Amino acid sequence: MISTVLVSVFLVCILFSVITIMDWAHLGQFDKKFTNPFFAIEVAFTLLLITELFSLIIVLPKSVAKSVGKQFELLSLIFLRNGFKEFSHIANDFLWVDIKDEVIGMLIYAGGALSIFAIMGYVYKAQKHIKLTDIEKDQTKFVSMKRLLAIILLGSFLLIGIADIYALVVDGHYNHSFHLFYTVLIFSDILIVLIALRYTLNYYKIFRYSAFVLATILIRISLSAEEHYNVAIGVAAAFFVLLLTVVYNYALRDLPERKLNDH
């Protein structure tokens, strides 16, 4: 269903571009955007990112580590979208003098996205998912609290989406409020750390959860940083999570295998 919606929107945007370029009709405040036929790519990728935000919320109750991984997946897709956005600024004549800045931007964003893609591949292979506590009742309560938090995040997601749509209709400008959602995620991750303290005081587990909060903060900074600095910060944050995973696994290398699970 999501694929059908994305394809339909992409084709409709291409149709709007043709109508605008051929001067068959006018779209008011959106004319300038649709005169570039590559704008349809940016629209389709933005919708794809919104669906990834939703999946990030869904995965939170299952695993905090998987949720953080989803955050980096989303960041890599944002970088790819930025690369397509640079491409949408290229004039149709493709003269190197006119497009060299955009091409350099595309290469930097593509390199950043690929770096995060590679790093997270290593993280997923190295990650060991361990229960917060061996007491089943406490573990169930912790998962329930994460589900409640996911519902609150979903409400925030909908409110931010409504505000962005309103701005689009009124001003003709879509805010792409991914940075705002990541700000909400920071508070969400801190809440998870504080809730976890109710069920364990294990230093390694609390440090790991707290480090995940720092990774989310770095992602948030990356989304607001200047061009090219944002890529460096995002890649550094992904590398930080990789080091965290390696060190965490080393610290718990003597933990009995029977305690490893997917919670």
Nearest CA-CA partner of 223 in 176, 184, 191 = 176
- Whether 99 shows a pLDDT value over 70: the answer reads yes
- Contacts by residues 162-170 (CB-CB < 8 Å, ≥ 24 positions apart): none
Segment 155-202, tens digit of pLDDT: 888 888 888 887 777 776 666 677 888 888 888 888 888 888 888 888
Two structure tokens written together for 70: 């989803």
Model confidence over 149-167: pLDDT tens digits? Answer: 889 888 888 888 888 887 7
**Which pLDDT score is estimated for 260?**
43
Instruction: Supply the pLDDT for residue 91.
Output: 60
The vertex-224 CA angle with 223 and 228, nearest 5°, equals: 75
Nearest CA to 259 out of 130, 135, 82 is that of 130
Torsion of CA 206, 210, 212, 215, to 10 degrees: -160
d(CA 13, CA 28): 15
Cβ(167)–Cβ(175) under 8 Å? yes
Over range 237-259, report the average pLDDT.
79
Per-residue pLDDT band for 259 (boundaries 50, 70, 90) equals very low
Q: Which residues contact 229 (CB under 8 A, 6 or more apart)?
A: none
Mean local confidence (pLDDT), 81-100: 73
Distance CA 49, CA 161 (A): 12
pLDDT score of 82 more than 60: yes
On average, the pLDDT of the chain sits at 83
- Ramachandran angles phi, psi of 103, nearest 5°: -65, -40
Residue 221 pLDDT > 80: yes
* H helix count then E strand count, the chain: 9, 0
- Average pLDDT of the segment spanning 133-138: 78
Tokens of 43: 């629209």
pLDDT cut 90: percent of the chain above it: 22
Q: Residue 231 above 60 pLDDT?
A: yes
Cβ–Cβ < 8 Å for 116, 238: yes
- Tell me the pLDDT tens digit for each residue of 234-245: 999 999 999 999
